[in-house]
Amino acid sequence: MSDMTTIARPYAKAAFDLAVEKGELGQWSEMLTFAAEVANNETVQDILDSGYAADKLTEVFVSVCGEQLNEFGQNLIKVMAENGRLKALPAVCDEFLFLKSEHEKTINAEVTSAVTLDDSQLEAISTKLEQRLERKVKLNCSVDETLIAGVVIRAGDLVIDNSVRGKLDRLSDTLQS
């Protein structure tokens, strides 16, 4: 997988630089997300593996994407096809979205709780995370009754386990050692 990231990074950086220059970060995010989904399609994967010439692959890919790609997006597809890198599109999309979140100083945080949290609790979590991470935080919430009580928060590499299940697990490990 790191191999694909290495391949994807220069394409993502070029697309990101162009998107920033043109002020089209949102449009590029949508284009690359759509193109990544197309590249993940089984039928398209078979076509990519078939050994067609770059111009044929570009034609097929652009026709499938239709109006979802602007001229610069089509150009990216063409360059990637010429270099045999269309399979790296999902990784390009991931890298682009990472660069975009760094640029915008945002981060997605996964909040898993034992019960549904109310707005004031979500606001408090969001405020504390924004202070700690120095970024704008977008919360993605889910409920997992097996936590018993409390929350588990994942934001990038940061994991905060303040659930009763987590505390019981840590207590069990301490007693066993």
The whole-angstrom distance between residue 138's C-alpha and the CA centroid of its chain comes to: 13
- Tens of pLDDT, residues 25-36: 899 999 999 999
* The pTM of the whole model exceeds 0.75: no
- Tens of pLDDT, residues 100-123: 988 888 888 999 998 899 999 999
Q: What is the pLDDT of residue 114?
A: 87
Task: Summarize the chain as % helix, strand, coil (round to 5).
Answer: 70, 15, 15
- Tens of pLDDT, residues 62-96: 888 878 888 898 899 899 888 888 888 999 999 99
Average pLDDT over residues 20-24: 90
145 phi-psi bin (left φ>0, alpha ψ -120 to 50, beta other): alpha
CA dihedral 95, 79, 83, 52 (to 10 degrees): 120
Which residues touch 27 (CB under 8 Å, ≥6 apart)? 19, 70
Domains of the chain as residue ranges with CATH = 2-102 (1.10.520.20), 106-176 (3.40.30)
